[in-house]
């Protein structure tokens, strides 16, 4: 079961697991307090340990999130994936709680209580996770999907399943050929069953039909699809299917009609005001926290390669308006001595030694805080690109210009979901994430992206 929460698709099992583990962490504090002190459970007892139990549960759950242990698509990794990450996450939770006790002594629950709560919750969460991993991979619990079509669009679904991102909770029972003569899927996966679409769906116990047909003029069995819908079978457009399962809007499956009628793609005064308040608060907090880091970074850049410390460059902003972006200089001064813009490459020899560290830790992006204060950028949004590349990519990639319908951001959905883009192919992949953000942007998604950004910075994912 998928729950849509503030336009974001969240598997019900993930929410259930999160709630169960919060209960385990909170309950472990009470269990430890009872075992340690022998107090009887009364209202005053419950009230006294409530803040401490919630703090413990929050710190431990956030630690698990940082190690992506609530990412449903990674549950298929098996025990060899689970145990090392779970151990690292629980260790991080222990360290975080220790630091909190040191900084805020009033939150300390006692060494004995903390030790019992930590050990008991670690044991119970490990057992719970082992049960969930086994349950999540049971074939009988997977949603059975029938794909209409055998063309290139249908083949992309097959590629997604082979990547393992959804195979733990969905199962494609087969691909049903329509009027197309070119088949891009494995013939062994094509269905040859005769009868109506409803009969075929019932035969294979199908719960969802995904429409993956490019040319629908006279080729889409509308009456049969309506019959299936009336019998409780979910009918899903390919674009909506990928949006739900991958957090992308695949360019090749989009069409103007779907974009016009789809929910989302909304902007308005209320949204702009709330976004601006969020930008100022997040940027102000980041500026206060990062000032010492920015000072050290500026000093190191100056000592290695002299002035200027800041790098200024023209970028394309909202509604294709140009603006000047600020970053710590991480490349040599003659990085583009030929005058032609270039993408950064893996192990790019133009990057300085200090610059490589700044890029790895995303410190070079910190001066963009001032772009947010000026109103050129948001804290969260698509990555701002150079006009030279925008003009080139807009000619080669459909719908590219629509990423500029919102302000660019310091961080964004594409930045936390995909590695650094340095080619037309990378830009196509990142655009699909950007379009998802443009369609579904809101405060909840911005908060998710901020949390994921912390994780990316900690583990250095995608830096170049």
DSSP 280-335: HHHHHHHHHHHHHHHHHHHHHHHHHH-S--EEEEEEE-GGG-EEEEEEE--B-TTT
Q: What is the pTM of this model?
A: 0.86
State residue 39 phi and psi, 5-degree precision.
-70, 150
State the distance between the two ends of the chain, measured CA to CA, in whole angstroms.
38
Q: In the prediction, which pLDDT does 464 show?
A: 46
- Average pLDDT, integer, range 191-210: 93
Structure confidence by residue, pLDDT tens digits, 308-360: 999 999 999 999 999 999 999 998 877 776 667 777 766 777 889 999 999 88
Q: Token pair of 452, please?
A: 């994921």
The string of pLDDT tens digits covering residues 249-285 is 988 888 787 788 888 888 888 888 999 999 999 999 9
CATH topology of domain 140-246: Rossmann fold (3.40.50)
State the Cα–Cα distance between residues 277 and 32, nearest whole angstrom.
42
Q: What is the mean pLDDT of the chain?
A: 87
Give the C-alpha separation, 217 to 195, whole Å: 21
Give the tens place of pLDDT for each residue, 348-391: 778 899 999 998 888 999 999 999 999 999 999 999 999 999 99
Note whether 184 and 159 are within 8 A (CB): no
Q: What is the spatial distance between Cα 72 and Cα 14, in angstroms, rounded to a whole number? A: 7
- Smallest Cα–Cα separation from 178: which of 145, 231, 232, 222? 222
Q: List, by residue range, all CATH 3.40.50.720 domains of the chain.
A: 140-246
Residues 118-164: tens digit of each pLDDT: 999 999 999 998 887 777 666 667 889 999 999 888 998 888 877 76
């Amino acid at each position: 079961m998928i729950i849509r929460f503030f336009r974001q698709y969240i598997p019900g099992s993930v929410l259930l697991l999160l709630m169960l583990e919060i209960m385990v962490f909170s309950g472990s504090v009470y269990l430890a307090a009872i075992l340690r002190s022998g107090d009887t459970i009364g209202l005053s007892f419950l009230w006294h340990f409530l803040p401490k139990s919630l703090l413990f549960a929050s710190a431990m759950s956030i630690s698990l999130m940082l190690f992506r242990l609530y990412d449903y698509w990674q549950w298929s990794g098996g025990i060899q994936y689970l145990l090392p990450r779970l151990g690292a996450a629980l260790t991080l939770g222990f360290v975080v709680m220790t630091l909190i006790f040191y900084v805020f002594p009033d939150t300390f629950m006692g060494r004995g209580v903390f030790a019992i709560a930590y050990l008991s919750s670690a044991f119970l969460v490990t057992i719970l996770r082992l049960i969930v991993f086994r349950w999540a991979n049971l074939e009988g619990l997977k949603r059975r999907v029938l794909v209409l079509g055998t063309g290139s669009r249908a083949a992309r679904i097959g590629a997604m399943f082979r990547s393992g991102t959804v195979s733990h909770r969905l199962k494609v029972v087969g691909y049903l050929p329509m009027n197309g003569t070119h088949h891009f899927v494995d013939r062994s996966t094509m269905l040859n069953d005769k009868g109506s679409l409803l009969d075929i769906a019932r035969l294979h116990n199908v719960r969802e039909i995904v429409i993956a047909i490019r040319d629908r003029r006279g080729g889409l069995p509308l009456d049969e699809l309506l019959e299936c819908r009336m019998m409780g079978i979910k009918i899903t457009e390919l674009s909506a299917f990928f949006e739900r399962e991958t957090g992308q809007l695949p360019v090749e499956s989009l069409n103007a009609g779907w974009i016009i009628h789809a929910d989302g793609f909304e902007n308005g005064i209320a949204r702009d005001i709330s976004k601006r308040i969020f930008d100022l608060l997040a940027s102000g907090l980041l500026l206060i926290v990062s000032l010492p880091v920015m000072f050290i970074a500026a000093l190191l850049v100056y000592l290695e390669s002299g002035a200027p410390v800041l790098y200024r460059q023209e970028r394309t902003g909202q509604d294709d308006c140009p603006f000047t972006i600020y970053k710590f200089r991480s490349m040599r001064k003659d990085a583009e001595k030929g005058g032609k813009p270039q993408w950064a490459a893996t192990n790019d020899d133009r990057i300085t030694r200090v610059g490589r560290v700044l890029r790895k830790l995303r410190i070079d992006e910190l001066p963009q805080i001032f772009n947010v204060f000026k109103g050129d950028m948001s804290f969260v949004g698509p990555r701002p690109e150079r006009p030279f590349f925008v003009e080139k990519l807009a000619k080669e990639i459909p719908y590219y210009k629509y990423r500029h319908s919102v302000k660019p951001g310091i961080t964004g959905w594409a930045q936390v979901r995909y590695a650094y883009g340095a080619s037309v192919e990378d830009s196509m992949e990142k655009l699909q994430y950007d379009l998802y953000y443009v369609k579904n942007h809101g405060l909840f998604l911005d908060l998710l992206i901020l949390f994921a950004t912390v994780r990316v910075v900690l583990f250095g994912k995608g830096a170049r």
